[in-house]
Chains A and B, each alone.
Chain A
Amino acid sequence: MALKKLLLRVAFILFLGLIIGLGINFSLIKKYFLGDFRFGFISLEKYTSITFITLGEAEGLFSEEEALFIDSRPKEAFQAGHIMGAVNIPFEEYKKENALDLIFLPPEGTVVVYCDGSECNSSLELAKVLHRKGLLDIRIFFGGWVEWTREGLPVSSEK
Chain B
Amino acid sequence: MDEGRAACIFGKMIRNKYILLVFRLVVGGMFIWAGVSKIIDPLEFAQNIANYRVFPQGISFFLALVLPWIEVICGVSLILGIFRYASALLLSGLLAVFLVLITVTIIRGIDIDCGCFGDLSGKVDYKLILMDSVLLFFSLNIFFSRKAVRVKY
- By a beta-carbon cutoff of 8 Å, the part of chain A in contact with chain B is 2, 6, 9-10, 12-14, 16-18, 20-22, 24-25, 28-29, 32, 37-38, 40-43, 92, 96, 119, 121, 124
A6-B86 contact in complex given A17-B66, A21-B69, C-beta closer than 8 Å: yes
Give the distance in Å from the alpha carbon of A43 to the alpha carbon of B46 in the complex.
11
Q: How many A-B residue pairs have CB under 8 A?
A: 74
Chain B, interface size category, equals: 20 to 34
The reply to whether A6 and B89 form a contact with Cβ atoms under 8 Å apart is yes
Query: Which one, A10, A40, A119, A124, contacts B90 given CB within 8 A?
Result: A10
Q: Are A28 and B65 in contact (CB under 8 A)?
A: yes
A73 to B97, CA, bound (A): 30
Alpha-carbon separation in the docked complex, A29 to B66 (Å): 12
16 intermolecular pairs with C-beta atoms under 8 Å apart: A6-B85, A13-B70, A13-B83, A13-B86, A13-B90, A14-B70, A17-B73, A20-B73, A21-B69, A21-B70, A32-B61, A37-B61, A41-B44, A41-B47, A119-B53, A121-B50
Given that A13-B77, A124-B47 are contacting pairs, would A21 and B66 also be in contact in the complex, using a CB cutoff of 8 Å?
yes
- The reply to whether B66 and A22 form a contact with Cβ atoms under 8 Å apart is yes
- B46: chain A residues at CB < 8 Å are 37, 41
Closest CB of chain B to A46's CB: distance in Å? 8
A18 contacts across to B, CB distance below 8 A: 66, 69
